[in-house]
Amino acid sequence: MFLLTIFGLFMAIVANMSGVEGGVISFLFSFSFFNYHLRKLRSEHGNYGLRARAGSLAYARQRRIDFRLGGVLLIATLPGRFLAPC
């Protein structure tokens, strides 16, 4: 349990410093180092997605999202989504 607490603290620090969603880091580290079953991690990753959507809605209500920049980034990265092997 202590190891998971340290892992959670490390994940929060890295996620805040890099600006990425904590679920991405948590998913990869949990699968790699703690050997959690992939089925459990999928449901856990889904919970992160729900929280990210809720946060996005809150930021949209506060008008803190640059939708124009988001559209440009979407157009730039969308082809990679379909071309990447998965």
pLDDT of residue 63: 92
Domains of the chain, by residue range, sit at: 2-83
Q: What is the pLDDT along the chain (86 residues), one digit of tens a residue?
A: 687 778 777 777 777 666 666 666 666 766 777 777 766 666 666 666 676 777 788 888 999 889 999 899 889 888 887 887 75
Q: Is pTM, for the whole model, over 0.85?
A: no
Half-sphere exposure of 50 (CA within 13 A, CB side): 6
Quick one: pLDDT at residue 86? 57
Residue of 57, 24, 55 whose CA lies nearest to 41: 24
* Rounded Cα–Cα distance for residues 71 and 1 (Å): 42
pLDDT at 69: 92
- Rounded CA-CA distance 42/65 in Å is 28
